Amino acid sequence: MRTTDKIRQQLEENPVVLYMKGTLGEPRCGFSAKAAAALQSTGVEFAYVDVLAAPAFMQALPEVSEFPTFPQLFIKDEIIGGSDIIEAMLASGELLPMLKDATA
């Protein structure tokens, strides 16, 4: 199975996925730390993938998402964006309803 197919499978199996550098407990970049913290603050469950531990994913994901940087948040198989977008959507009140709808 190609890496892009594995990514698409993850997106189909998980309604909310954060592709980040590091783990939730130990983010390895400031942007990933901000994105993970914003998502965790909602209390909604989400999956995550450490792209530093899976370099093939880090290389292939921009092909799937057409989004060049990390972290990358997907909700219902659709790219939402990176940490700035996640934080802005959280502040505006847009993010939580999307997350709840996706995981309902």
pLDDT single digits (tens) 35-71 = 999 999 999 999 999 999 999 999 999 999 999 999 9
Question: 21 among the known binding-site residues?
Answer: no
Give residue 28's pLDDT band: very low, low, confident or very high (50, 70, 90). Answer: very high
pLDDT single digits (tens) 62-95 = 999 999 999 999 999 999 999 999 999 999 999 9
Q: Which CATH number fits domain 3-96: 3.40.50.300, 3.40.50.700, 3.40.30.10, 3.40.50.150?
A: 3.40.30.10
Whole-number Å distance between alpha carbons of 13 and 88: 26
Check: CB of residue 76 under 8 Å from CB of residue 102. yes
Tokens of 103: 């995981």
Give residue 29's pLDDT band: very low, low, confident or very high (50, 70, 90). Answer: very high
Whole-number Å distance between alpha carbons of 42 and 6: 27
Give residue 1's pLDDT band: very low, low, confident or very high (50, 70, 90). Answer: confident
SS3 for the chain is CCHHHHHHHHHHHCCEEEEECECCCCECCHHHHHHHHHHHHHCCCCEEEECCCCHHHHHHHHHHHCCCCCCEEEECCEEEECHHHHHHHHHHCCHHHHHHHHHC
Q: Model's pTM, two decimal places? A: 0.95
